[in-house]
Chains A and B, each alone.
Chain A
Amino acid sequence: MKKVGIGIITYLVFIILYFLQTNFFSWFTIGGVSPNLFIIFAIFLGLFTNNYFAIVMSVIMGLTIDFEIGKQFVGPTAIMLTIISILVSYLDKNFSKDSKITILLLVSLGTIVFEIGLYGLNIFVFKYTSEMSTFLKILAVEVAYNIVLTYVLYNLIRKIGSKIERMFKEKHLLTRYF
Protein backbone atom coordinates (compact mmCIF):
# COMPACT_ATOMS: atom_id res chain seq x y z
CA MET A 1 0.00 0.00 0.00
CA LYS A 2 2.86 2.32 0.91
CA LYS A 3 4.55 1.56 -2.40
CA VAL A 4 1.36 2.37 -4.30
CA GLY A 5 1.36 5.74 -2.53
CA ILE A 6 5.00 6.29 -3.45
CA GLY A 7 4.13 5.27 -7.02
CA ILE A 8 1.37 7.88 -7.22
CA ILE A 9 3.65 10.57 -5.77
CA THR A 10 6.39 9.55 -8.22
CA TYR A 11 3.98 9.91 -11.12
CA LEU A 12 2.86 13.33 -9.87
CA VAL A 13 6.51 14.40 -9.64
CA PHE A 14 6.95 13.13 -13.19
CA ILE A 15 3.99 15.29 -14.35
CA ILE A 16 5.59 18.36 -12.73
CA LEU A 17 8.87 17.49 -14.45
CA TYR A 18 6.98 17.09 -17.73
CA PHE A 19 5.60 20.62 -17.48
CA LEU A 20 9.01 21.94 -16.48
CA GLN A 21 10.62 20.18 -19.42
CA THR A 22 8.07 21.26 -22.02
CA ASN A 23 7.68 24.83 -20.80
CA PHE A 24 10.57 26.18 -18.76
CA PHE A 25 13.37 24.18 -20.35
CA SER A 26 12.08 24.80 -23.86
CA TRP A 27 13.57 28.31 -23.63
CA PHE A 28 16.08 27.80 -20.78
CA THR A 29 18.52 26.11 -23.13
CA ILE A 30 22.25 26.08 -23.78
CA GLY A 31 22.73 26.84 -27.46
CA GLY A 32 19.24 25.56 -28.19
CA VAL A 33 19.90 22.29 -26.33
CA SER A 34 17.70 21.51 -23.35
CA PRO A 35 18.50 19.05 -20.55
CA ASN A 36 16.51 15.86 -20.12
CA LEU A 37 14.92 15.77 -16.68
CA PHE A 38 13.42 12.33 -17.28
CA ILE A 39 16.84 10.72 -17.63
CA ILE A 40 17.90 12.19 -14.28
CA PHE A 41 14.62 11.07 -12.75
CA ALA A 42 14.93 7.52 -14.13
CA ILE A 43 18.48 7.33 -12.74
CA PHE A 44 17.20 8.60 -9.39
CA LEU A 45 14.55 5.86 -9.33
CA GLY A 46 17.08 3.22 -10.36
CA LEU A 47 19.41 4.24 -7.55
CA PHE A 48 17.05 4.73 -4.65
CA THR A 49 14.12 2.39 -5.23
CA ASN A 50 14.07 -1.30 -6.03
CA ASN A 51 14.46 -2.72 -9.54
CA TYR A 52 10.84 -3.67 -9.99
CA PHE A 53 9.50 -0.25 -8.96
CA ALA A 54 12.08 1.64 -11.09
CA ILE A 55 11.28 -0.43 -14.17
CA VAL A 56 7.49 -0.12 -13.78
CA MET A 57 7.71 3.64 -13.25
CA SER A 58 10.10 4.06 -16.20
CA VAL A 59 7.71 2.17 -18.47
CA ILE A 60 4.74 4.27 -17.30
CA MET A 61 6.67 7.54 -17.68
CA GLY A 62 8.06 6.57 -21.06
CA LEU A 63 4.65 5.53 -22.37
CA THR A 64 3.13 8.79 -21.15
CA ILE A 65 5.77 10.76 -23.08
CA ASP A 66 5.28 8.58 -26.16
CA PHE A 67 1.52 9.04 -26.01
CA GLU A 68 1.84 12.78 -25.57
CA ILE A 69 4.38 13.71 -28.21
CA GLY A 70 5.37 10.46 -29.90
CA LYS A 71 5.19 9.75 -33.60
CA GLN A 72 3.51 6.83 -35.29
CA PHE A 73 4.59 4.11 -32.94
CA VAL A 74 4.54 4.08 -29.18
CA GLY A 75 7.44 2.88 -27.09
CA PRO A 76 10.90 4.27 -27.93
CA THR A 77 11.08 6.58 -24.90
CA ALA A 78 9.61 3.86 -22.65
CA ILE A 79 12.20 1.37 -23.91
CA MET A 80 15.12 3.73 -23.40
CA LEU A 81 14.05 4.90 -19.94
CA THR A 82 13.58 1.28 -18.87
CA ILE A 83 17.04 0.35 -20.16
CA ILE A 84 18.52 3.22 -18.16
CA SER A 85 16.77 2.26 -14.93
CA ILE A 86 17.88 -1.39 -15.33
CA LEU A 87 21.42 -0.29 -16.09
CA VAL A 88 21.53 2.03 -13.08
CA SER A 89 20.01 -0.59 -10.78
CA TYR A 90 22.74 -2.99 -11.88
CA LEU A 91 25.53 -0.44 -11.45
CA ASP A 92 24.17 0.57 -8.03
CA LYS A 93 25.18 -2.87 -6.74
CA ASN A 94 28.78 -2.28 -7.78
CA PHE A 95 29.31 1.39 -7.00
CA SER A 96 28.57 3.54 -3.99
CA LYS A 97 25.94 6.18 -4.62
CA ASP A 98 27.29 8.16 -1.65
CA SER A 99 29.87 9.60 -3.97
CA LYS A 100 28.82 12.67 -5.95
CA ILE A 101 31.17 11.72 -8.76
CA THR A 102 29.49 8.31 -9.12
CA ILE A 103 26.06 9.90 -9.54
CA LEU A 104 27.38 12.47 -12.03
CA LEU A 105 29.06 9.69 -14.03
CA LEU A 106 25.84 7.66 -13.98
CA VAL A 107 23.90 10.68 -15.27
CA SER A 108 26.45 11.13 -18.10
CA LEU A 109 26.31 7.46 -18.97
CA GLY A 110 22.50 7.41 -18.78
CA THR A 111 22.19 10.45 -21.05
CA ILE A 112 24.60 8.98 -23.60
CA VAL A 113 22.85 5.58 -23.64
CA PHE A 114 19.38 7.15 -23.82
CA GLU A 115 20.13 9.59 -26.63
CA ILE A 116 22.19 7.16 -28.73
CA GLY A 117 19.46 4.55 -28.38
CA LEU A 118 16.68 6.98 -29.24
CA TYR A 119 18.57 8.47 -32.17
CA GLY A 120 19.39 4.99 -33.45
CA LEU A 121 15.71 4.01 -33.23
CA ASN A 122 14.75 7.19 -35.09
CA ILE A 123 17.26 6.46 -37.86
CA PHE A 124 16.07 2.86 -38.09
CA VAL A 125 12.31 3.45 -37.84
CA PHE A 126 11.73 7.01 -39.07
CA LYS A 127 14.58 7.18 -41.59
CA TYR A 128 16.28 10.07 -39.88
CA THR A 129 19.19 11.45 -41.84
CA SER A 130 22.35 10.43 -40.04
CA GLU A 131 24.12 13.61 -38.92
CA MET A 132 26.74 12.24 -36.59
CA SER A 133 28.78 15.40 -35.99
CA THR A 134 25.67 17.45 -35.20
CA PHE A 135 24.31 14.65 -33.04
CA LEU A 136 27.55 14.38 -31.04
CA LYS A 137 27.66 18.15 -30.56
CA ILE A 138 24.08 18.20 -29.22
CA LEU A 139 24.77 15.12 -27.09
CA ALA A 140 27.87 16.70 -25.51
CA VAL A 141 25.92 19.83 -24.56
CA GLU A 142 23.03 17.77 -23.19
CA VAL A 143 25.36 15.60 -21.09
CA ALA A 144 27.03 18.72 -19.69
CA TYR A 145 23.66 20.34 -18.96
CA ASN A 146 22.37 17.21 -17.18
CA ILE A 147 25.58 17.02 -15.12
CA VAL A 148 25.23 20.66 -14.07
CA LEU A 149 21.59 20.15 -13.09
CA THR A 150 22.42 17.01 -11.11
CA TYR A 151 25.29 18.80 -9.39
CA VAL A 152 22.96 21.63 -8.37
CA LEU A 153 20.26 19.24 -7.17
CA TYR A 154 22.65 16.70 -5.63
CA ASN A 155 21.88 17.44 -1.98
CA LEU A 156 18.14 17.35 -2.61
CA ILE A 157 18.48 14.11 -4.58
CA ARG A 158 20.53 12.50 -1.78
CA LYS A 159 18.17 13.64 0.96
CA ILE A 160 14.94 12.53 -0.73
CA GLY A 161 16.66 9.45 -2.13
CA SER A 162 17.79 8.27 1.32
CA LYS A 163 14.25 8.63 2.68
CA ILE A 164 12.75 6.70 -0.22
CA GLU A 165 15.48 4.07 -0.01
CA ARG A 166 14.66 3.50 3.68
CA MET A 167 11.01 2.92 2.75
CA PHE A 168 11.93 0.39 0.09
CA LYS A 169 14.82 -1.40 1.69
CA GLU A 170 14.05 -1.22 5.42
CA LYS A 171 13.24 -4.92 5.67
CA HIS A 172 16.32 -6.07 3.81
CA LEU A 173 19.81 -6.58 5.12
CA LEU A 174 22.39 -4.89 2.97
CA THR A 175 24.51 -7.99 2.61
CA ARG A 176 27.08 -6.29 0.47
CA TYR A 177 28.33 -4.42 3.53
CA PHE A 178 29.15 -7.65 5.39
Chain B
Amino acid sequence: MYKAKHAGIISTIVIIIVLVLLVFLTNVDVKNLSYAQSISTSFIRPVQNGFNYLGNKLKGNDAFFVDLNTLRKENEELKNKNSKLEEQLRELEIIKAQNASLQEYSVLKDKYANYESIPADIIDRDFSNFGSQLVLNIGKKQGVEVGMTVIAEAGLVGNVVSCTNTSSTVQVIVDASSSVSAMITTSSEGIICKGSIDNNSELRATYIDTSSEVLVGDTVVTSGIGGIYPKGITIGTIKEVVNTNNLTDRYAVIETAVDFSKLYTVLVIKN
Protein backbone atom coordinates (compact mmCIF):
# COMPACT_ATOMS: atom_id res chain seq x y z
CA MET B 1 0.00 0.00 0.00
CA TYR B 2 2.87 2.22 1.04
CA LYS B 3 4.88 1.27 -2.03
CA ALA B 4 1.98 1.89 -4.42
CA LYS B 5 1.41 5.29 -2.91
CA HIS B 6 5.08 6.31 -3.28
CA ALA B 7 5.30 4.93 -6.84
CA GLY B 8 2.42 7.06 -7.83
CA ILE B 9 4.05 10.19 -6.34
CA ILE B 10 7.39 9.52 -8.08
CA SER B 11 5.82 8.93 -11.46
CA THR B 12 3.85 12.09 -11.10
CA ILE B 13 7.04 14.05 -10.31
CA VAL B 14 8.85 12.56 -13.33
CA ILE B 15 6.00 13.44 -15.64
CA ILE B 16 5.97 17.00 -14.32
CA ILE B 17 9.72 17.42 -14.80
CA VAL B 18 9.54 16.11 -18.39
CA LEU B 19 6.65 18.40 -19.11
CA VAL B 20 8.43 21.46 -17.71
CA LEU B 21 11.52 20.64 -19.73
CA LEU B 22 9.47 20.28 -22.90
CA VAL B 23 7.80 23.56 -22.32
CA PHE B 24 11.06 25.26 -21.56
CA LEU B 25 12.91 23.86 -24.55
CA THR B 26 10.19 24.57 -27.06
CA ASN B 27 9.71 28.18 -25.98
CA VAL B 28 13.26 29.45 -25.42
CA ASP B 29 15.27 31.02 -28.30
CA VAL B 30 18.18 28.72 -29.31
CA LYS B 31 20.58 31.66 -29.70
CA ASN B 32 20.32 32.31 -26.01
CA LEU B 33 21.62 28.81 -25.40
CA SER B 34 24.73 29.02 -27.63
CA TYR B 35 27.10 28.65 -24.72
CA ALA B 36 25.28 25.50 -23.62
CA GLN B 37 25.22 24.29 -27.22
CA SER B 38 28.97 24.77 -27.63
CA ILE B 39 29.63 22.81 -24.45
CA SER B 40 27.35 20.06 -25.68
CA THR B 41 28.76 19.90 -29.19
CA SER B 42 32.32 19.85 -27.92
CA PHE B 43 31.44 16.48 -26.37
CA ILE B 44 29.03 15.11 -28.87
CA ARG B 45 30.50 16.25 -32.23
CA PRO B 46 33.68 14.17 -32.06
CA VAL B 47 31.63 11.11 -31.25
CA GLN B 48 29.22 11.95 -34.02
CA ASN B 49 32.13 12.50 -36.38
CA GLY B 50 33.39 9.09 -35.43
CA PHE B 51 30.03 7.51 -36.19
CA ASN B 52 29.86 9.42 -39.50
CA TYR B 53 33.33 8.17 -40.37
CA LEU B 54 32.33 4.61 -39.60
CA GLY B 55 29.14 5.01 -41.60
CA ASN B 56 31.06 6.31 -44.59
CA LYS B 57 33.49 3.47 -44.26
CA LEU B 58 30.68 0.95 -44.21
CA LYS B 59 29.22 2.54 -47.32
CA GLY B 60 32.67 2.24 -48.90
CA ASN B 61 32.83 -1.37 -47.78
CA ASP B 62 29.55 -2.02 -49.41
CA ALA B 63 31.10 -0.83 -52.66
CA PHE B 64 34.08 -3.03 -51.85
CA PHE B 65 31.81 -6.07 -51.46
CA VAL B 66 30.20 -5.27 -54.78
CA ASP B 67 33.71 -5.06 -56.31
CA LEU B 68 34.69 -8.30 -54.58
CA ASN B 69 31.89 -10.16 -56.31
CA THR B 70 33.06 -8.82 -59.65
CA LEU B 71 36.62 -9.73 -58.77
CA ARG B 72 35.56 -13.24 -57.85
CA LYS B 73 33.91 -13.67 -61.20
CA GLU B 74 36.97 -12.31 -62.95
CA ASN B 75 39.17 -14.58 -60.85
CA GLU B 76 37.08 -17.62 -61.82
CA GLU B 77 37.33 -16.68 -65.49
CA LEU B 78 41.09 -16.18 -65.19
CA LYS B 79 41.45 -19.50 -63.38
CA ASN B 80 39.55 -21.23 -66.16
CA LYS B 81 41.72 -19.53 -68.76
CA ASN B 82 44.83 -20.46 -66.80
CA SER B 83 43.85 -24.13 -66.53
CA LYS B 84 43.12 -24.19 -70.27
CA LEU B 85 46.51 -22.65 -70.98
CA GLU B 86 48.20 -25.15 -68.65
CA GLU B 87 46.44 -27.98 -70.46
CA GLN B 88 47.62 -26.61 -73.79
CA LEU B 89 51.14 -26.30 -72.38
CA ARG B 90 51.07 -29.92 -71.23
CA GLU B 91 49.86 -31.02 -74.65
CA LEU B 92 52.64 -28.97 -76.21
CA GLU B 93 55.21 -30.58 -73.95
CA ILE B 94 53.92 -34.04 -74.85
CA ILE B 95 54.12 -33.12 -78.55
CA LYS B 96 57.66 -31.79 -77.99
CA ALA B 97 58.70 -35.01 -76.24
CA GLN B 98 57.14 -37.09 -79.03
CA ASN B 99 58.90 -34.93 -81.58
CA ALA B 100 62.24 -35.42 -79.81
CA SER B 101 61.65 -39.20 -79.72
CA LEU B 102 60.74 -39.25 -83.40
CA GLN B 103 63.83 -37.23 -84.24
CA GLU B 104 65.95 -39.73 -82.28
CA TYR B 105 64.27 -42.62 -84.09
CA SER B 106 64.87 -40.84 -87.40
CA VAL B 107 68.59 -40.39 -86.67
CA LEU B 108 68.82 -44.01 -85.58
CA LYS B 109 66.96 -45.24 -88.65
CA ASP B 110 69.23 -43.22 -90.94
CA LYS B 111 72.35 -44.49 -89.21
CA TYR B 112 71.29 -48.11 -89.36
CA ALA B 113 69.46 -47.91 -92.67
CA ASN B 114 70.68 -51.38 -93.65
CA TYR B 115 68.74 -52.99 -90.86
CA GLU B 116 65.01 -53.42 -90.59
CA SER B 117 64.26 -52.12 -87.14
CA ILE B 118 61.53 -51.27 -84.64
CA PRO B 119 61.84 -48.18 -82.45
CA ALA B 120 61.21 -48.61 -78.73
CA ASP B 121 61.25 -46.74 -75.46
CA ILE B 122 62.79 -48.03 -72.23
CA ILE B 123 60.04 -48.34 -69.63
CA ASP B 124 61.82 -50.11 -66.79
CA ARG B 125 65.28 -51.00 -65.55
CA ASP B 126 66.72 -53.71 -63.34
CA PHE B 127 67.00 -52.22 -59.85
CA SER B 128 69.29 -54.88 -58.39
CA ASN B 129 72.94 -54.13 -57.74
CA PHE B 130 74.11 -57.13 -59.75
CA GLY B 131 72.05 -57.07 -62.94
CA SER B 132 71.53 -54.75 -65.88
CA GLN B 133 68.34 -55.56 -67.75
CA LEU B 134 66.14 -53.08 -69.57
CA VAL B 135 62.45 -53.43 -70.32
CA LEU B 136 61.12 -52.09 -73.65
CA ASN B 137 57.59 -51.00 -74.47
CA ILE B 138 57.32 -53.33 -77.47
CA GLY B 139 56.81 -57.07 -77.63
CA LYS B 140 55.65 -59.96 -79.78
CA LYS B 141 52.77 -57.89 -81.16
CA GLN B 142 55.27 -55.51 -82.75
CA GLY B 143 57.35 -58.40 -84.08
CA VAL B 144 59.99 -58.64 -81.36
CA GLU B 145 61.55 -62.05 -80.81
CA VAL B 146 64.07 -63.47 -78.36
CA GLY B 147 67.64 -63.01 -79.57
CA MET B 148 67.08 -59.81 -81.54
CA THR B 149 69.79 -57.17 -81.31
CA VAL B 150 69.08 -53.86 -79.62
CA ILE B 151 71.03 -50.75 -80.58
CA ALA B 152 71.12 -47.06 -79.76
CA GLU B 153 72.46 -44.09 -81.68
CA ALA B 154 75.92 -44.48 -80.15
CA GLY B 155 76.17 -48.23 -80.57
CA LEU B 156 75.30 -51.67 -79.23
CA VAL B 157 72.89 -51.99 -76.30
CA GLY B 158 72.28 -55.73 -75.98
CA ASN B 159 69.89 -58.44 -77.06
CA VAL B 160 66.33 -59.46 -76.26
CA VAL B 161 66.25 -62.31 -73.73
CA SER B 162 62.51 -62.58 -73.15
CA CYS B 163 59.38 -60.98 -74.49
CA THR B 164 55.67 -60.84 -73.85
CA ASN B 165 53.02 -59.53 -76.23
CA THR B 166 53.57 -55.94 -75.14
CA SER B 167 57.04 -55.76 -73.60
CA SER B 168 60.46 -57.27 -73.90
CA THR B 169 63.48 -57.66 -71.63
CA VAL B 170 66.92 -56.77 -72.92
CA GLN B 171 70.14 -58.10 -71.47
CA VAL B 172 72.57 -55.24 -71.94
CA ILE B 173 76.21 -55.79 -72.85
CA VAL B 174 77.44 -54.56 -69.45
CA ASP B 175 75.47 -57.27 -67.62
CA ALA B 176 77.70 -59.73 -65.75
CA SER B 177 76.32 -62.65 -67.78
CA SER B 178 76.85 -60.98 -71.15
CA SER B 179 79.64 -61.90 -73.59
CA VAL B 180 80.01 -60.27 -76.99
CA SER B 181 82.28 -61.47 -79.74
CA ALA B 182 84.04 -58.33 -80.95
CA MET B 183 87.01 -57.06 -82.93
CA ILE B 184 89.37 -54.14 -82.70
CA THR B 185 88.89 -52.02 -85.81
CA THR B 186 92.54 -50.99 -86.25
CA SER B 187 94.00 -54.49 -86.06
CA SER B 188 90.93 -56.62 -86.87
CA GLU B 189 91.89 -58.79 -83.88
CA GLY B 190 89.05 -60.79 -82.33
CA ILE B 191 88.29 -60.37 -78.63
CA ILE B 192 85.52 -61.27 -76.19
CA CYS B 193 83.86 -58.43 -74.28
CA LYS B 194 82.35 -59.36 -70.93
CA GLY B 195 80.24 -57.32 -68.53
CA SER B 196 80.82 -57.08 -64.81
CA ILE B 197 78.71 -56.53 -61.70
CA ASP B 198 80.35 -53.34 -60.56
CA ASN B 199 80.32 -51.08 -63.59
CA ASN B 200 77.60 -50.02 -65.97
CA SER B 201 79.83 -48.26 -68.47
CA GLU B 202 82.77 -50.59 -68.86
CA LEU B 203 83.46 -53.99 -70.36
CA ARG B 204 86.41 -56.26 -69.98
CA ALA B 205 88.02 -57.51 -73.20
CA THR B 206 89.64 -60.92 -72.80
CA TYR B 207 91.17 -63.57 -75.06
CA ILE B 208 93.45 -60.97 -76.60
CA ASP B 209 95.92 -62.59 -78.94
CA THR B 210 99.41 -62.59 -77.42
CA SER B 211 100.92 -61.23 -80.63
CA SER B 212 98.43 -58.44 -81.16
CA GLU B 213 99.11 -54.87 -80.19
CA VAL B 214 96.18 -53.27 -78.40
CA LEU B 215 96.21 -49.49 -78.12
CA VAL B 216 94.22 -47.19 -75.90
CA GLY B 217 91.63 -45.34 -77.98
CA ASP B 218 91.07 -48.17 -80.49
CA THR B 219 87.44 -48.66 -81.44
CA VAL B 220 85.80 -52.01 -80.76
CA VAL B 221 82.91 -53.27 -82.90
CA THR B 222 80.89 -56.47 -83.07
CA SER B 223 82.56 -59.23 -85.07
CA GLY B 224 79.36 -60.96 -86.18
CA ILE B 225 80.67 -64.27 -84.85
CA GLY B 226 78.29 -66.11 -82.56
CA GLY B 227 75.12 -65.37 -84.47
CA ILE B 228 73.58 -62.96 -81.98
CA TYR B 229 74.88 -59.56 -83.04
CA PRO B 230 75.33 -58.37 -86.64
CA LYS B 231 78.83 -57.36 -87.69
CA GLY B 232 80.14 -53.81 -87.39
CA ILE B 233 78.07 -52.29 -84.58
CA THR B 234 80.12 -50.02 -82.33
CA ILE B 235 80.67 -51.33 -78.81
CA GLY B 236 83.08 -48.75 -77.43
CA THR B 237 86.69 -47.67 -77.23
CA ILE B 238 89.63 -49.19 -75.38
CA LYS B 239 90.22 -47.18 -72.21
CA GLU B 240 93.02 -49.16 -70.59
CA VAL B 241 95.18 -52.16 -71.28
CA VAL B 242 96.05 -54.19 -68.17
CA ASN B 243 99.14 -56.32 -68.60
CA THR B 244 99.66 -59.27 -66.28
CA ASN B 245 102.64 -61.56 -65.65
CA ASN B 246 101.10 -64.08 -67.97
CA LEU B 247 100.54 -62.50 -71.38
CA THR B 248 97.53 -64.70 -72.09
CA ASP B 249 95.73 -63.26 -69.06
CA ARG B 250 96.07 -59.63 -70.07
CA TYR B 251 92.87 -57.76 -70.64
CA ALA B 252 91.61 -54.41 -71.81
CA VAL B 253 88.98 -52.16 -70.29
CA ILE B 254 86.49 -50.91 -72.85
CA GLU B 255 84.39 -47.84 -72.27
CA THR B 256 81.00 -48.43 -73.83
CA ALA B 257 79.84 -46.10 -76.59
CA VAL B 258 76.35 -46.06 -75.11
CA ASP B 259 75.74 -44.22 -71.85
CA PHE B 260 73.29 -46.65 -70.26
CA SER B 261 72.30 -44.26 -67.51
CA LYS B 262 70.97 -41.78 -70.08
CA LEU B 263 69.46 -44.25 -72.49
CA TYR B 264 65.75 -43.84 -73.22
CA THR B 265 65.25 -44.72 -76.89
CA VAL B 266 66.52 -47.77 -78.76
CA LEU B 267 66.01 -49.72 -81.99
CA VAL B 268 65.37 -53.44 -82.12
CA ILE B 269 66.93 -54.94 -85.24
CA LYS B 270 64.61 -57.44 -86.91
CA ASN B 271 66.92 -59.02 -89.46
Q: Residues on A close to B: CB < 8 A?
A: 21-22, 25-26, 32-34, 36, 68-72, 115, 118-119, 122, 126-129, 131, 134-135, 137-138, 142
Inter-subunit contact B135/A68 (CB<8 Å):
yes
Q: Which residues of A contact B129 (CB under 8 A)?
A: 32-34, 115, 138, 142
**Complex Cα–Cα for A101 and B175 (A):** 36
* CB of B139 within 8 Å of the partner chain: no
Contact between chains at A122 and B124 (CB < 8 Å): no
Say yes or no for B176: interface residue by CB 8 A criterion.
yes
Chain B residues, CB < 8 A from A134: 196-198
Given contacts A71-B161, A118-B130, A122-B176, contact A26 B171 (CB under 8 A): no
CB atoms of A118 and B197 under 8 A apart: no
CB <8 Å contact, B133 and A131: no
- With A119-B130, A127-B177, A138-B129 already in contact, the answer to whether A69 and B198 are too (CB < 8 A) is no
Please name 12 further chain A to chain B contacts, defined as beta carbons within 8 Å, in addition to the given A72-B162, A128-B130, sorted by A numbering: A32-B129, A34-B127, A68-B124, A69-B125, A69-B126, A69-B169, A71-B162, A115-B129, A115-B130, A119-B130, A126-B176, A135-B130
Across the two chains, which residue of chain B brings its CB closest to A25? B127
Which residues of B line the A interface, CB within 8 A? Answer: 124-131, 133, 135, 161-162, 169, 171, 176-177, 194, 196-198, 200
Measured CB to CB, the closest approach of chain A to B191, in angstroms, equals 15
Instruction: Please judge, given known A-B contacts A68-B135, A131-B197, whether A22 and B161 are in contact too, CB under 8 Å.
Output: no
Central interface residue in A21, A126, A142, by most chain B CB within 10 Å: A126
What is the minimal beta-carbon distance from A92 to any residue of chain B, in angstroms? 26
